[in-house]
Structures are given as structure tokens and as C-alpha cells.
Amino acid sequence: MSCSIFVSGCVWSGSLLYSAPDGITPVTPFEINRHLGNGKEIARLDHSFERDMTDVSANYRLQDDGSGRSSIRF
């Protein structure tokens, strides 16, 4: 199975584009450049929606407005 999911990166932005839920303190300063690039899944929790997925990978990149964007492939 091959599929791509594109997720808006507002949650992990260089500039805070959302407000954190009550009781949650965001990491500051968040260094977005340390999290850019490619990642491969090495382990996961057993969720029904992830069964039979293999070779899961993600790409995290910076957008022109300073926010992050991720694309996940499985």
C-alpha cells in the first residue's frame, strides 16, 4: 500500500500559530531547524488504523511563512 498524507504544520511552527491546551506548556525556544528533514519509523503502538503498514517515513520542511509542513508516506 502506498499513500501520502499531507498535514498542515501549524502545530510545529517557528512562530506560534495556535494556543496550547490548558495545562500544556510548549517547549521554548523551539528550534524548528533541528526537526527538518526525513524520518523513518522504527517502532509504533498497535493501533488498528496502522495495521499492515510498512516502510513508514516522514519529511518535515520549512514553508515560506516560517511554519512547518510534514508529509507522511506509508
Q: What is the pLDDT of residues 18-59, one digit of tens each?
A: 677 889 888 888 888 888 999 988 888 878 888 888 888 899
User: Is residue 60 scored above 80 in pLDDT?
Assistant: yes
Question: Please, are residues 12 and 64 in contact by the beta-carbon 8 Å criterion?
Answer: no
pTM: 0.54
Question: Please, are residues 62 and 33 in contact by the beta-carbon 8 Å criterion?
Answer: yes
